[in-house]
A and B are shown apart, each in its own frame.
Chain A
């Protein structure tokens, strides 16, 4: 199973709502990533989890709150978002992540298309 799944596929939320994005993989990978992608732009890294610990936070606003409850699951909790946060949110996983070590192949999920009204 080389699949990364993400739910929901689409999400529309108001600026006062609280919602969560979910990502799951069963490949035994110990690194998981959240990316944000705006239209016609490359993905931008938001967070990296390595062995269920937050290793990189790319100065993401606190209205985005990641959580890694176990080695297979990654959540992104959303609260008080702004319309400019509308984007495709991609989850990815790789065998490991370690600064200074070769970058492993990342397996991407299909993404959640988020619209903030």
Chain B
């Protein structure tokens, strides 16, 4: 079993829809990161969470440490949100990021 499981793997949405991407992990973490990667390569860090909830514009990230689960929500989705979203818990043991396989999101106009 992978240390990090993301779902869904692929997601297609219509513009304006509310989107949720889930992440479950099995390792001890110091913080959990959500990353966004657009076609062409560049990775942007969206959130770093160690508890509770964070909001940035239309993006919301939540984490439940006891259940080892995090979610990324996108409200009022837009075609420019189309990207790969990666959940990456930071191991409390090694200090390394453990990357999920990513969720490929396509938002259609």
- Chain A: residues with CB nearer than 8 A to chain B? 37, 41-43, 45, 48, 56, 88, 90, 92, 97-111, 113
Docked CA distance A98–B30 (Å): 11
Does more than half of chain A's interface fall in helix, strand or loop, or is it mixed?
A: loop
Q: Does B43 contact A (CB under 8 A)?
A: yes
If A106-B45, A110-B42 touch, whether A100 touches B92 (CB-CB below 8 Å) is yes
Q: Mark B18-40, 1 if CB is under 8 A from A, else 0.
A: 00000000000011010000001
Q: Which of A98, A105, A111 contacts B95 (CB 8 A)?
A: A98
Are A101 and B95 closer than 8 Å at their CB atoms? yes
Question: In the assembled complex, how far is the CB of residue B39 from the closest CB belonging to chain A, in whole angstroms?
Answer: 11
A102-B30, A102-B31, A105-B33 known; A110+B41 contact, CB < 8 A = yes
Name the residue of chain A whose CB is nearest to the CB of B91: A103
Partner of B96, one of A56, A88, A105, A113: A56
Give complex CA distance A5, B27 in Å. Answer: 32
Are A43 and B30 interface neighbours, CB within 8 A?
no
- How far does the Cβ of A90 sit from chain B's closest Cβ, in whole Å? 7
